[in-house]
Amino acid sequence: MKHKYHQKPEADPALAHVCKERQCLKCGVKFESKWSGDRICSKCKNGSAWREGASWLSWSRPA
């Protein structure tokens, strides 16, 4: 018997595709994310490291 408080809450469909301001995981600049998994800004995605599939560890983020 599962209690209601043990269940995963329902996702709000109204918030499914809401843009949100996030901080880029590579450079730290704030940008408008198009979806929840969008964590790298377009400037960093246009860089050679991203396009060539360089290892995450080889990226340097400013302190």
pLDDT in tens, the chain (63 residues): 566 677 777 767 766 667 899 999 989 999 999 888 899 999 998 888 777 877 655 555 555
State residue 58's pLDDT score: 58
Contact 41, 24 (CB under 8 A): yes
Report pLDDT for 24: 94
Tokens standing for residue 61: 């983020």
Distance from C-alpha of 63 to C-alpha of 60, rounded to nearest angstrom: 9
Give residue 31's pLDDT.
Answer: 96
Burial class (CB in 10 A: 0-12, 13-18, 19+), 32: exposed
CA distances from 4 to 9, 10, 11, 22, 56 (A): 9, 12, 15, 32, 40
Q: Is residue 33 part of a domain?
A: yes
Query: What range defines the domain where residue 23 resides?
Result: 17-43
pLDDT recorded at residue 63:
55
Q: How many domains does the chain have?
A: 1
Question: Does 8 reside within a domain?
Answer: no
Supply the pLDDT for residue 22. Answer: 94
Residue 55 lies in a domain: no
- Confirm whether 50 is domain-assigned: no
Whether 56 maps to a domain, the answer reads no
